[in-house]
Structure 1
Amino acid sequence: MNKSVRSLSDNDKLVLQSLIGRCALRYHLAGPEKEALIEATFLALATRPEVILEKSVEQAVVEAMDAVFASRRLLAK
């Protein structure tokens, strides 16, 4: 395991979840759709944590959420 990679503390996860939740507001979703977008975005960031080191956390969240939202729209068509 790479010791230079820091795992997220519970507080970090809460802050990240809050940020993701605020970003989700721009899609005007509610209920299960909003929660699914938040969860999928969190998972997308968890699978590629290096993106948070490459740019600001806010930018990484917005880009991940845009990608998740776009892929879900394509699947729905």
Structure 2
Amino acid sequence: MSNPIADPGHGHSPAAWTAVIIMLVGAAIGTTAFFLDVPWLVWSAVVLMVIGLIAGWVVSKAGYGINGPKYAPKEH
């Protein structure tokens, strides 16, 4: 085994973390609103999750994605 398998990254980038954090906040708000029976807030949380997806894509296109020029992976 002279050639170790390269780490594919698994989304450890600022773009991925931005998307995931925004979407987790949206999921938490949506779950709470669903439990409390507040339909408008559930749909607002769905919109927030879509915004998180778009924000991750924008940050990735700005160069902070896994293969972006502004991304510097940390050594483990």
Instruction: Settle same-fold status: TM greater than 0.5.
Output: no
TM-score under structure 2 length normalisation: 0.33
Q: Name whichever structure is richer in helix by fraction.
A: 1
Structure with greater contact order relative to length (CA < 8 Å, sep ≥ 6) = 2
Alignment TM-score, normalising by the size of structure 1: 0.33
